[in-house]
A and B are shown apart, each in its own frame.
Chain A
Amino acid sequence: QKEVEQNSGPLSVPEGAIASLNCTYSDRGSQSFFWYRQYSGKSPELIMFIYSNGDKEDGRFTAQLNKASQYVSLLIRDSQPSDSATYLCAVSNAGGTSYGKLTFGQGTILTVHP
């Protein structure tokens, strides 16, 4: 089982719709969770991070964390064509010798069509 899993997609949504991206992780003690956006051929850039159960909103983006279910999601409201990219979920390990190790999922390709 991979440590961090995402649906690879592609996920296609119409402009103005809500895009929902999901991620599960295997290390129950993980403490920090990140969503990165990566345009083709470019470096990943951070969109959101979340540490506590519940929702965290930043503009059109909402991150949701459920530690009991080991699940983290990203909602993008009013999706725009410029949101078309690969979205990477990342998890920071909690303890032991790998404390702070940053592990990524395989990414979900999002396409927003006009």
Chain B
Amino acid sequence: DADVTQTPRNRITKTGKRIMLECSQTKGHDRMYWYRQDPGLGLQLIYYSFDVKDINKGEISDGYSVSRQAQAKFSLSLESAIPNQTALYFCATSDLPQEAFFGQGTRLTVV
């Protein structure tokens, strides 16, 4: 089983719908991250969490919200999806100063 698991792997949704992307990890790391990647671009940080009670906005948090339900679970929600949120979304965990471990990614299409 993967250390970092994202569900769903692919999702097509309609404009205005609420959608949740889920991430779970078995690494035992405190730090978890949600990134967005657009074609040909790097990873843009949406939200990050250093423990269950600590959640921080990244550089592109508008239109997104998160929930850290447990050390192992970090969910990303789009309250009202819009087409420009079509992207590849990655969840990651890390145990500073070690490397970040990434999930397989969720390809989201908003039509």
A-B interface pairs (CB < 8 A), number: 61
How distant is A77 from chain B, measured CB to nearest CB, in Å?
Answer: 22
Interface, chain A (partner B; CB < 8 A): 6, 8, 31-32, 34, 41-46, 49, 51, 88, 90, 92, 97-107, 109
Chain A residue nearest to B105 (CB atoms) is A43
Chain A residue nearest to B50 (CB atoms) is A100
Number of contact residues on B: which range applies? 20 to 34
Q: Judge whether B31 is part of the interface by a CB distance below 8 angstroms.
A: yes
Distance A105 CA – B104 CA, assembled complex (angstroms): 20
Distance A79 CA – B51 CA, assembled complex (angstroms): 40
Distance A34 CA – B88 CA, assembled complex (angstroms): 21
Distance A90 CA – B97 CA, assembled complex (angstroms): 12
How distant is B31 from chain A, measured CB to nearest CB, in Å?
Answer: 6
- Interface flags for B32-52 (1: CB within 8 Å of A; 0: not) read 010100001111110010100
Distance A90 CA – B101 CA, assembled complex (angstroms): 13
